[in-house]
Amino acid sequence: MTLYCIIIFLCAFFLGSLPTGYIVAKSKGINIRTVGSGNIGATNVTRALGKNWGAFVLIVDALKGLVPVLFVKLYFKQMPQPQFYILMTITGILAVAGHVFTPFLKFKGGKGIATTLGVILAINPVLALLLLIVWLIAFLITRISSAGALSAALSMPFIVFFLYRYQSVFYIMITYATFMTLFIFFTHRENIKRLYKGEEKAFHKK
């Protein structure tokens, strides 16, 4: 079992580390690291290549988190529930870590939002939907993608509390949610500085 877990963790990190945004932009003759914010995520790809390619990167980056966790969910569902949830959350964390610290780009990747969404969608679609609603409300108010991401991340422990407060895996999920909130704030530290200064770029309606 330990060997299976190691293989799953390595595969999750490798899949997460595939730099989708960089590859897509490179195929169009653009080095996404030198455009806009320099980030390889869907938001910067949208600014550089348009909504269609931005949506493509968003979906693929989400799949990088969804696929390995969904594999665990389908093939290890007979495990005792606490161990099952620990395996899912660790697999998800490693997929996100691969995206953020991709070895293909000298360990400088994206912010991890889309991949985190894919992980949560695999673990609990209701939780993913509620986080998307929070993101959408914050984005529609501010027109700033990072404000939506940070709002959703901040709400995650509270939503998890209400969804899991009576379940045996409550402490596992609340620990995971708190860790991911802190991790997302860490990956968005430059965005937070720009938000504080009023310098973060917004998407304006045409």
Which pLDDT tens digit goes with each residue over 66-97? 999 999 999 998 999 999 999 999 999 999 99
What's the average model confidence in pLDDT over 181-206? 89
What's the average model confidence in pLDDT over 49-66? 97
Proportion of the chain above pLDDT 90, given as a percent = 91
Proportion of the chain above pLDDT 70, given as a percent = 98
pLDDT value at 183 more than 90: yes
pLDDT value at 1 more than 90: no
- Please report the pLDDT score of residue 36 as a whole number: 85
- Please report the pLDDT score of residue 204 as a whole number: 65
CA 59 to chain centre: 11
Domain boundaries, the chain: 2-197
- Please report the pLDDT score of residue 205 as a whole number: 58
pTM of the full structure: 0.94
**What is the per-residue pLDDT across 120-161, written as a single tens digit (0 to 9) for each?**
999 999 999 999 999 999 999 999 999 999 999 999 999 999
**Angle at the Cα of 143 (from 40 to 136), degrees rounded to 5?**
85
Residues in Cβ contact with 97 at an 8 Å cutoff, skipping those fewer than 6 apart:
13, 16
Q: Could you tell me if 149 and 135 are in contact, meaning their C-beta atoms sit under 8 angstroms apart?
A: yes
